[in-house]
């Protein structure tokens, strides 16, 4: 019955006129893992790729909020339509620019729009690129940052150090990918400039840590240990090997890594907690951005923001973005960081990095 209903919807879509693709797009968005909806999606996809190039913004919009599988179907459809439109020189560039500039659209769909514009009108992309330096999408920021690196290098070739410093500094302000950050920091320091990366990105460096509680059989992730019930920094609790007590810890890492191994040793199959207060100048929306290759949970003012029970799949800057609401004055952050039982060298890290910023990645600095 469900299959008949799906096919009826597609049949209706096939007879739609005026480039109306909302129904087949919805059929694609309904596709799920393990083949659910694949037959209907396949027919819907065929209808979409027959559409006029003017429908490209509508298809791109379908990517907003779509699951990964549906997004891939839609991305492929965009590619087919765009290839034909480029051959016929009928790509709707103006509409794609409008789509790109609307940051309410998903980062993935906007990146596709940018690539299409680049294929059609390289000169226009040159004009658009500088406007993306503060874009919410780190992928789109890479373009203007790369141009600023080029400009700085060109200035150095002409022995214009001041101009190079301006270009590299502006590039660093917009960079969010670690490779570009490291390159720009190195260049600025070689030119005698001081770069305070923790302040620049809003890493929280001063914490109170407590460990080690047991993570035997990885059960510690869901176990509610005392720090989740109370934050009493003079308290002592039963630990895995010895009493667990709070201690002060200040990171010396430029990327704000809070390394539990430093104060507690290279422990395995354990749980640690980190707590700190962030003083906000006002009530405001913010993002807590964390990088961690261990199992972790984050609470803000007693509310669980997010949790991930996964180990050693890599960590990077801004790996996870947690939208939140800061209140004026003191905001208490609690991080639970779990280490598993693996003993390979690449599993020894028991650490996280955390920063506070706005939706564009610009640091929000604490009042204190």
Q: Is the overall model pTM greater than 0.75, yes or no?
A: yes
The tokens for 358 are 């706005």
Of the chain, the end-to-end C-alpha distance in Å amounts to 62
Quick one: average pLDDT of 37-43?
82
Spatial separation of the C-alpha atoms in residues 176 and 190, rounded to whole Å: 21
Contact 312, 340 (CB under 8 A): yes
**pLDDT, mean of residues 37-49:** 86
State the average pLDDT over residues 307-313: 91
pLDDT digits (tens, 9 = 90+) for 278-305: 999 999 999 999 999 999 999 999 999 9
Give the confidence band of 27 by pLDDT, cuts at 50, 70, 90: confident
Backbone phi and psi for residue 248, each to the nearest 5 degrees, phi listed first: -85, 140
Helical (H) or strand (E) element with 338: strand 329-339
**Fold held by 201-357:** Jelly Rolls (2.60.120)
DSSP 327: P
Share of the chain above pLDDT 70, in %: 93
Q: For residue range 129-187, list pLDDT tens digits in order.
A: 999 999 988 899 999 999 999 999 999 999 999 999 999 999 999 998 889 999 999 99
Residue 72 has pLDDT above 80, yes or no: yes
The pLDDT value given to residue 343? 86
pLDDT exceeds cutoff 60 at 192? yes
pLDDT at 183: 97
Q: How far apart are CA 200 and CA 277, in angstroms?
A: 19
Which helix H or strand E contains 63, and what residues bound it?
none
Sign of CA dihedral 139, 141, 145, 147: positive
- The domain locations on the chain are 2-132, 138-195, 201-357
Share the mean pLDDT of the chain. 91
Kindly tell me if the per-residue pLDDT of 18 is higher than 60: no
Give percent of the chain above pLDDT 90: 80
User: Which H or E element spans position 316?
Assistant: none
81-127 pLDDT, tens per residue? 999 999 999 999 999 999 999 999 999 999 999 999 999 999 999 99
Q: Render pLDDT for 203-217 as a digit per residue (tens, 0 to 9).
A: 999 999 999 999 999
């Amino acid at each position: 019955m469900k299959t008949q209903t799906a096919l009826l919807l597609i049949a209706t879509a096939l007879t739609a006129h005026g480039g109306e693709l909302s129904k087949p797009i919805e059929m694609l968005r309904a596709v799920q893992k393990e083949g659910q909806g694949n037959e209907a999606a396949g027919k819907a996809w065929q209808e979409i790729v027959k559409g006029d190039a003017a429908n490209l913004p509508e298809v791109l919009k379908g990517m907003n909020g779509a699951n990964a599988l549906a997004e891939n179907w839609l991305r492929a459809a965009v590619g087919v339509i765009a290839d034909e439109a480029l051959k016929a020189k009928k790509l709707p560039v103006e509409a794609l620019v409008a789509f790109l500039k609307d940051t309410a659209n998903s980062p993935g769909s906007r990146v596709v729009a940018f690539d299409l514009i680049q294929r059609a009108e390289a000169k226009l992309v040159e004009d658009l690129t500088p406007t993306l330096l503060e874009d919410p999408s780190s992928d789109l920021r890479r373009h203007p940052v790369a141009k600023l690196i080029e400009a700085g290098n060109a200035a150095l070739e002409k022995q214009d150090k001041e101009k190079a410093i301006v270009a590299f500094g502006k590039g660093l302000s917009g960079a969010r990918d670690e490779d570009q950050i490291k390159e720009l920091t190195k260049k600025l320091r070689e030119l005698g400039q001081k770069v305070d990366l923790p302040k620049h990105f809003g890493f929280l460096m001063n914490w109170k840590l407590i460990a080690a509680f047991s993570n035997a059989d990885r059960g510690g992730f869901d176990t509610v240990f005392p720090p989740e019930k109370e934050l009493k920094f003079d308290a002592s609790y039963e630990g895995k090997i010895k009493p667990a007590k709070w201690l002060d810890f200040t990171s010396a890492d430029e990327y704000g890594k809070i390394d539990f191994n430093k104060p507690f040793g290279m422990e395995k199959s354990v749980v640690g907690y980190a707590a700190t207060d962030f003083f906000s100048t006002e009530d405001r929306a913010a993002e807590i951005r964390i990088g961690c290759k261990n199992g972790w949970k984050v609470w803000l003012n007693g509310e669980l923001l997010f949790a991930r029970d996964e180990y050693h799949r890599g960590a990077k800057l801004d790996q996870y973005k947690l939208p939140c609401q800061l209140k004026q004055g003191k905001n208490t952050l609690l991080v639970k960081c779990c280490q598993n039982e693996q003993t390979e060298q690449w599993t020894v890290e028991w650490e996280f990095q955390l920063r506070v910023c706005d939706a564009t990645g610009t640091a929000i600095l604490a009042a204190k």
